[in-house]
Structure 1
């Protein structure tokens, strides 16, 4: 007997995910959107772009004029939600420093 009750998740659309991700990040008040990225107190901390089948992310290890970047690829909605949670944690950490 086959399992006909399984539904595949909707296909991931990087362009739409990027728009939603930017909207969610704008709600995190200390961040300010600048072009394709976000700044914290005038220092670059995030760069975002949609590439092919994923969203390409560069996030600073800590705010600086020339930050050391970590790169990520978000390939589904769950990874996008997890990334937003990580940004919230980093903002809290950066505000304590």
Structure 2
């Protein structure tokens, strides 16, 4: 895969995680942006957390503006991330592991 600019939605577990897993979301967002990508980070969309349904409505609307979804570790344990991945898969979006995307571009 050649490096190219992507519009990435970052997906992973939040509910039940320490600090809502925001540190992992912010760290990966910084790495992806440093690689030249546009990143939609749900932790930035919902900085105060909030009601799951309201957060997911905002997140899914933002997902629709992206061409790639990047999974954080533990995504499979999150009902929200699984929903996001299902939508992305059905819409034919690129689906990647976030860490793989960074390591491939570093080569």
- Return the TM-score normalized by structure 2: 0.33
- Return the TM-score normalized by structure 1: 0.35
Structure of greater Rg: 1
Q: Greater strand percent: which structure?
A: 1
